[in-house]
Structure 1
């Protein structure tokens, strides 16, 4: 398909041509060649980024393209080269902080390689299969697909990607059919629990994310297993929805748990809400209750940020995912059945009290 502009039928000089009302025309390479006074082959070389064109000729062709509103015919180029130079990204929710940062990493890496990004959201709360998602993406001009699996998917264990469309998953659990990349959601929880226990806390309360979230499930499991491993009591779980208001309500409730000296919230918004809820109920942070979160999403949003957190490398996960799908597009092997783990980083601030040392 060619590019389209609003204008009239082609003639000798596009800039002087009257527009035909209500009709769009397709600008061809031949139109650009006439406008620039060069051959169609020269226009083709410029459009394809060839170095075999003199700079002054390239400039003249580019100026003609701009005047006429020419857009390269990517479908024809794909037929010729076997590549669209575009990658599809599938997400449940583009507005979530982690998803938005992963997407930013993908698009930045794609841009560096001259690739476009086609984004498809599939909606939260509905049952989906990878098979149906990929069948939808096969209808679009993309060379490969990255699926960010925020929620459980029905055919995760049975899915086999098509031979002609590389698929990479951003997912906590590895897939036998697709390369997989993610941070260690489980391990970040065990590390935070161990950190709080080492500070002298007898146990750690947990504010979990929504039950439908794969990351929330992995973080809750890591919290529980770390307490079991340490022989510490496992208190009841408080369920939030990733939002600060749900953290605030949990904080109000936790203020009445007499043995609660440490709280681990599954993301920073809930952790910050919990701090406000605890303080509203008369508990001091960190003097009475230590609070930690995950993701480090409040930097630049909350002044004098005091929250200790586990920073999630979302943008790097996106860059790694694009690198993996690009390698598959170019025919390079990328391991399946294992997950590429991007390390997390503990960021210590002032929301944790060291009970063992008796200091804040």
Structure 2
């Protein structure tokens, strides 16, 4: 079972749900079911994968342990690229991923197990482009973002952008060189940004690769000339989120739940938890109950608190049915 990145159909469902449930800061669908604990749940769960989802998985683990104090959850968040091998080798129950699975990763899993892994959408994220809090930039188009970060310029702008004056800043900002901060290649966010913000181009050699999203944000916080990207859940008071336009010359859209739902914000995506589920069998009780909680009202309230966009019940219900919860 595969789920696409945020599609027009899902965007329409999300938009309707957002209207029903209210504002971006309180948009947990009241129609999501409450979670009811079941008897006999204990043991160990392990999660290896996305740095973007690391804090969210930790918060979900705490919520789950509130229902089941005898469950121990171990979480590692080195990057999405570590999730498929961990699932394939059986060293983790869950593989959080901030992108879809690659053909080579799926092939390795299928060779070992005879069927594909299951990717469960658990939240919607927006990739934010961050600048220092004192940077007055009004917004950027995706072609401008590409011209800043890439060496290939595949999104259509016919110039490299290396100084802030080239994107409209004046005065003391005009001749300031842009300092680039990026995730590293093991990161699903790196791969997603490369595909959707660089039009499958190549990053500049001058980027400062960071081991985690928090490090990207910290770098931009400490550099007046800095720009970087990560999941929006890593936003802090030291940075600003830059509004983005899909086309050069288009209207800028802020990174809000409404704009993710409508499709106006160009860098919205699913976040997934991958799991080893045999196509003809149900999940093991521990894994089943954890995912059931994640896709319930308390689980999606955790999503909202952590700065991501919760799934509406119309979407969560379909996912629960698809995986037999």
TM category (shorter chain) comes to: 0.3 to 0.5
Which has the greater radius of gyration?
Answer: 1
TM-score by length of 2: 0.38
User: Higher relative contact order by CA 8 Å / sep ≥ 6: 1 or 2?
Assistant: 2
